[in-house]
Amino acid sequence: MSILLKNVRAVDDMKDFFCDIFIDSGKIMSVGKNISREADRVIDGGGRLIVIPGLFDMHVHFRDPGQTHKEDVLTGCAAALAGGVTGVVCMPNTNPPIDSADTVQYILDKAKGTGVDVYPAGCITKGMKGTELYDWGQLGVKIISDDGRPVENGELMRRALEESNKNGLLVASHCEDLSIINGGIVNKGEVSEKLGVKGMDRASEDSVTAREIALADSCGARIHICHVSTKGSVGLIRDAKKRGIKVTCETCPHYFTYTEEKVLSRDADYRMNPPLRTEEDRQAVLEAVLDGTIDCIVTDHAPHTAEEKADFEKAPNGVVGLETSLAVTLTQLFHTKKLPLIRIAGLMSVAPRKLLGVPVTRIEKGAKADLAVIDLDMEWTVEPEKLRSKSHNTVFKGEKLRGRVVTTISDGVIRYEVDN
């Protein structure tokens, strides 16, 4: 399939310019002004549409295998494409967990032909039980994590980091001390007291973040901190980076958009782990995105059914986010003039691929044609029932957003177009 994108504004982490883009045989064949080529499909941006490299979300839960009533690889990939995402890392807390070559291959086989590059994360410990390290050489993965729960045994985590110096795997940590959490379901503080429920003390996140940084420093290894949500963790990571420790981190749009006030509605769609925090925490996370302390923006896409989310206190934690992440980021950061598009492309397209060690997509001749076409000014309201994810537990339901992916191209094929 050949595609000609006319009169578009092309943005990646290095450049921002107006051009035409000709795509054929899965690659960008030419980038320039006034390209005159026959194409199977011509999209005229009218100088208004933006083209960025396909996003890469390095933290999603596709629930496949084992919990496919919530999501599966196919519906997860469809949701990804609707959000301009052409690559993902799916976390290993499936059933069974991703701790065998067979499970990795099952996911890879199911993802073939979707248009999304799916990278399964392997477990750090066998069965995610936290008692014994797995033999990762069998898995063929690029990243390991027990995400969904922490590796509670510090020595096991130290050994995993030590081994990563030899095998090159990125170790990603879900930073949470379960003994401090102790059954908490929202952030601990005034809101949890008003609700009359147990709270999740931010010390749970901060203490394990500090441990992981210390272990990485001891081993001279890389550590990636998942879904940063507190002022304390931000400060620890910023300081560690200044000291030359090989720490990277991510956050999600809900942590720089909302606070714990949302859960006062007793709506479990606003419950996730880590939870929405205070305004002070939100501001700290936002500042860390702006100053580069936070390396990438992800979703922690975590589908649950409406039935599971019906009871506020008993519901599982987690929210979907693949279809809204870019739009929320544009609304919160670009349209408020906090971040330019070049930085957003870096945070959501380029940096995650670099961290994972997979080919980086940029808008240049010869590059893989994985692109998201965006209407920056399209306003739309998030309607959960229209999401392509199998589950509709979005924290952004009812929000009016500005900016939307209108077309997603991967491997040179149009995989998604917005409904008009």
Residues acting as catalytic residues:
300
Residue from 351, 355, 334, 352 nearest 404 by CA: 334
DSSP collapsed to 3 states, the chain: CCEEEEEEEEECCCCEEEEEEEEECCEEEEEECCCCCCCCEEEECCCCEEEEECEEEEEECCCCCCCCCCCCHHHHHHHHHHCCEEEEEECCCCCCCCCCHHHHHHHHHHHCCCCCEEEECECCEHHHCCCCECCHHHCCCCEEECCCCCCCCHHHHHHHHHHHHHHCCEEEECCCCHHHHCCCCEECCHHHHHHCCCEECCHHHHHHHHHHHHHHHHHCCCEEECCCCCHHHHHHHHHHHHCCCCEEEEECHHHHHCCHHHHHHCCHHHCCCCCCCCHHHHHHHHHHHHHCCCCEECCCECCCCCCCCCCCCCCCCCEECCCCHHHHHHHHHHCCCCCCHHHHHHHHHHHHHHHHCCCCCCCCCCCECCEEEEEEEEEEECCHHHCCCCCCCECCCCCEEEEEEEEEEECCEEEEECCC
Length of the chain (residues)? 420
CA–CA dist 342, 53 (Å, integer): 11
